[in-house]
Amino acid sequence: MEQVIVNDVAPRDGLQNDPVAVSPGERAELIKRLVAAGLPAVEVAAFVSPKAVPKMAGATEVAAALDLDRADFSALVPNRKGYEMARAAGMRSVALVLSATETMNRRNINMGLDQAAAVCRETLQQARGDGLKARAYVAVAFECPYEGTVPDAEVERLAGDMFAAGAEEIIVADTIGAGNPTRAKALFGRMTAAFGAERLAAHLHDTRALALANAWQALECGVRKFDASAGGLGGCPFAPGAAGNLATEDLVSMLHQAGFQTGIDLTALLDVVSGMESLLGRPVGGRSLPWLRRRLAEDQAA
Ligand code: HMG
Ligand code: MG
């Protein structure tokens, strides 16, 4: 069976904009439970300004509470300061964020597109020199909440720029979940032809309930690395209209049914989602959760 790598971003994207503040210790426990459920990769923290994103404060404490060799743990970094903090915390892998439009970069990281690209390039080169794994998001890859439709050619241009600076992987990100299967097929087809599917990952928000359909298009184009968020939580605080990420349980359920393997134990993942409901004090979960829970209860009763 073919392998797909799922990177769970719930501890970062999922919790960065949640109404409930989750402590660094609780985030570390969530990460350990995700790894115990078989997640091979987790985005564990964001080394960002606590003034900009208060819910991500304590990234160093999160890293300190983890065995950083246990899985492919990465941290989001928006600038050189964030990178230095992540490196000092012992992170082996960082993810830079470059948005495909001027306004989105300004809102998100207070830099214009050219400056953001320059900072990403310098940070990628630094990370390469330091022996860290470095990836870059190209955000608002389909549509920007401020500037509208983003041309595929611009996403390709920015990705090429980041690869040239040393990025090991580009994460094509649908920040506000505005992609559709036709556009996803075109964009992932173009990107895989230009760079090779093995150097790409997909990060899809599920605002319009199309993330799974878009993920399938990326799969058909050869992409085998996906971000997803347990419980379907997430959204960028600076992108109005951004809803949750593709739920990990929805993605994994689809992949297993379609004959791919992920190494993830869905029963254990459902336990993690239940734990998140206790933590946040409300129901969470992807579209498939009621069915998955029913099937699990039937299996246990049998
Ligand atoms: P700024 O105000 O322009 O920064 O913010 P500055 O360089 O002028 O510094 C201001 C203060 O912040 C200083 O402290 C710095 O030391 C501090 P002060 O002197 O006032 O005490 N500072 C930092 N502190 C901690 N970590 C840092 C850092 N850098 C400076 N890295 C900045 C610019 C980039 C810092 C800010 O805008 C920021 O942190 N932005 C992060 C935004 C963010 O986290 N957005 C969400 C993640 S992106 C996302 O969700 C999309 C994604 O999921 C993909 C998708 O869905 O498309 C990835
Ligand atoms: Mg996101």
Please return the burial class of 160, using the count of CB atoms within 10 Å of its CB with bins 0-12, 13-18 and 19+.
Answer: middle
pLDDT of 116 reads: 98
Q: What are the pLDDT digits (tens) for 216-225?
A: 999 999 999 9
How, if at all, do strands 72-77 and 41-46 pair? parallel
**For the CA atoms of the chain, what is the radius of gyration?**
18
Distance (angstroms) between ligand 2 centre and the Cα of 70 equals 24
Residue 185 has pLDDT above 90, yes or no: yes
Distance (angstroms) between ligand 1 centre and the Cα of 124 equals 17
Residue 242 has pLDDT above 90, yes or no: no
Annotated catalytic, 120? no
Distance, in Å, from the CA atom of 167 to the CA atom of 196, rounded to the nearest integer, reads 13
Nearest CA to ligand 1 atom 28: 49
Ligand 1 pocket by Cβ (under 6 Å): 13, 16, 46-49, 52-53, 76, 78-79, 81-82, 85, 97, 108-110, 137, 139, 173, 175, 203, 205, 236, 238
How, if at all, do strands 133-139 and 169-174 pair? parallel
Residue 170 has pLDDT above 90, yes or no: yes
What is the best residue among 9, 13, 49 to mutate for testing ligand 1's pocket, by most ligand atoms within 8 Å of CB? 49
Angle made by CA atoms 167, 168, 173, in degrees to the nearest 5:
75
Structure-derived torsion over alpha carbons of residues 228, 239, 172, 40, reported in degrees to the nearest 10 = -20
Nearest CA to ligand 1 atom 25: 49
Which residues make Cβ contacts (< 8 Å) with residue 29, sequence separation at least 6? none
Residue 241 pLDDT class (50, 70, 90 cuts): confident
- Name the nearest CA neighbour of 195 among 164, 216, 226, 151: 164
Q: Whose atoms come closest to the Cα of 60: which ligand?
A: 1
Distance, in Å, from the CA atom of 155 to the CA atom of 143, rounded to the nearest integer, reads 11
Distance, in Å, from the CA atom of 221 to the CA atom of 224, rounded to the nearest integer, reads 9
Distance (angstroms) between ligand 1 centre and the Cα of 10 equals 19
Residue type, 222: G
pLDDT of 293 reads: 96
For residue 246, give the DSSP letter: P
Which residues make Cβ contacts (< 8 Å) with residue 25, sequence separation at least 6? 61, 65
Domains and CATH numbers, the chain: 5-301 (3.20.20.70)
Q: What are the pLDDT digits (tens) for 62-117?
A: 999 999 999 999 999 999 999 999 999 999 999 999 999 999 999 999 999 999 99
- From the list 120, 144, 221, 236, the catalytic residue is 236
Query: Mean pLDDT, the chain, as a whole number?
Result: 97
Distance, in Å, from the CA atom of 254 to the CA atom of 232, rounded to the nearest integer, reads 14
Q: Which residue has the tokens 């919790």?
A: 15
Q: What percent of the chain stands above pLDDT 90?
A: 98
Residue 4 has pLDDT above 90, yes or no: yes
Distance, in Å, from the CA atom of 256 to the CA atom of 253, rounded to the nearest integer, reads 5
What is the best residue among 16, 17, 43, 48 to mutate for testing ligand 1's pocket, by most ligand atoms within 8 Å of CB? 48
For residue 245, give the DSSP letter: B
State mean pLDDT over 190-214: 98
Q: What is the pTM of this model?
A: 0.98
Distance (angstroms) between ligand 1 centre and the Cα of 108 equals 8
Distance, in Å, from the CA atom of 71 to the CA atom of 31, rounded to the nearest integer, reads 10
CB 124 within 8 A of CB 167: yes
State mean pLDDT over 288-295: 96
Distance, in Å, from the CA atom of 234 to the CA atom of 212, rounded to the nearest integer, reads 15
